[in-house]
Amino acid sequence: MKTTRDSKLTAELIGEETIEQRHLDTLLQVSRAIGTVLDRDQLIRQIIEQTTVAMNADRSTLFLHDAKRSQLYSRLAQGLEDWPRELRFRDDAGLAGHVFQTHQALIIGDTFEHPLFARDVAERTGYVPRSMLVVPITHRRDYCDGVLQVMDTETNVFTAADLALLEAIAVQVGISLDNARLYAAQKRQFDSFVHAFSTALDARDPVTQIHSINVANFAMGIATYLGMPRREREWLRVAGLLHDVGKIGTPEAILTKPGKLSDDEFAEMKQHAAHSREILSQIEFTEDYEQIAEIAAAHHEKLDGSGYPDGLAGDDLPLKARILCVADIFDALTQDRHYRKGMSIDKAFSIIDDMTPHQLDPACVHALKQFMGVVA
């Protein structure tokens, strides 16, 4: 028995009330640690790390259920990250399969004495546990998400109190997995809406029908080379796809005119930026996409205040708007238009260089050049 594990001290040594309080405190810490994580892969990693710490064990593994294949699988087994990349087996096999099928938790003092322990498989991984706790993730009636297990190389390490704590943790895990699934489903729904909306708008003009996708890609490329985090890059992807939604109110005759626009027609065309803000401001975006209406509307603004719709200048023009502006201009220059053929990359960057730094942000322009392989 490991004397370093507080949870395995007996009630005679520290008292039942103290053990119960310690377990409640541990459960609260785990709940707080995993409760706000919505990305599924990050959540799984956090669950494993927090469970191992909470149980003061050697390792933990979370097996999820694949109903289509009738399998249990784990993409991350602590200490076994390189072997194999994914662990899979039948959902009725071994200790985990037994717990999954019966919904009954197991406490195992010595795995070598348990008939369901797959010792040969464990030996191939290089890690052979002797003590184990295996609990089902069953926070919903008659449904099991999978199995959570903790392991130790010493025998008779875990107690009944440890098992009760792990079962409580498993309920928190199930709730967090549900939240992550709901978040992923909402994100897929949101992404499909954004893509469909963007595609429908671009389809009004066959010549520029992939413009929004291009702007989104260039904006993400710029953000990548600027060192912006993943969340900001995703934000720019959505903003790029939606930046031109205001063109839904622009007459098709103006959008597809083969020649130069008249002053009145150009004035009408310029209204699309403000229209984008009006349309997007009516959509209840999540906090992740805060200010997307304002930034999308500012994709024609310039640092010297010569842009539209608001004539923003200098520090009043946010970085994300500067990124969209550069991405939008580059794609517009290199893409075929009704009134001209698309320019070469060199010619486009020559024009962009002439607009920098008085109109375009030099850092954004340089980042785009890096993304396009023009500079190192």
AA letter at 42 = Q
Q: Is residue 121 part of a domain?
A: yes
Q: Is residue 257 part of a domain?
A: yes
Task: Give the bridge partners for 140, in sequence order.
Answer: 143
Same domain, yes or no: 26 and 156:
yes
Please enumerate, as own/partner, the contacts of 77-80 that have beta carbons within 8 Å and a separation of 24 or more. 77/125, 78/48, 78/49, 78/52, 79/127, 80/125, 80/126, 80/127
Q: What is the pLDDT of residue 84?
A: 46
Q: What is the pLDDT of residue 85?
A: 60
CATH of the domain at 30: 3.30.450.40
For residues 62 and 52, what is the distance between their CA atoms, to the nearest angstrom? Answer: 11
For residues 169 and 294, what is the distance between their CA atoms, to the nearest angstrom? Answer: 43
- Burial code (b: 16+ CB inside 10 Å, e: under 16) for 78-90 equals bebeeeeeebebe
Q: What is the pLDDT of residue 356?
A: 96
pLDDT tens for the 376 residues of the chain, in order:
344 444 444 444 445 556 666 666 676 677 776 766 667 777 888 888 888 888 888 888 889 899 999 989 886 555 545 544 677 889 899 999 999 999 999 999 999 999 999 888 777 777 889 999 999 998 777 788 899 999 999 999 998 988 988 888 888 888 888 878 877 777 787 788 787 877 777 777 666 667 888 899 999 999 999 999 988 998 999 899 888 888 887 777 787 777 788 888 888 888 888 888 888 888 888 777 889 999 999 999 999 999 999 999 999 999 999 999 999 999 999 987 767 788 899 999 999 999 999 999 999 999 999 999 888 7
CATH of the domain at 229: 1.10.3210.10
- Name the pTM for this structure: 0.61
Query: What are the residue numbers of the active site?
Result: 247
Terminal-residue alpha carbon distance, the chain: 58
For residues 331 and 314, what is the distance between their CA atoms, to the nearest angstrom? Answer: 23
Q: Is residue 191 part of a domain?
A: no
Same domain, yes or no: 216 and 255:
yes
Q: What is the pLDDT of residue 173?
A: 83
Q: Is residue 188 part of a domain?
A: no
**Residue range(s) defining the domain that contains residue 273:** 203-371
Q: Are 145 and 64 in contact (CB under 8 A)?
A: yes
Same domain, yes or no: 136 and 252:
no
Domain count, the chain: 2
Q: Residue 39: name the closest of 291, 229, 280, 290 by CA.
A: 229
In Å, what is the CA distance from 270 to each residue of 274, 299, 334? 8, 11, 20
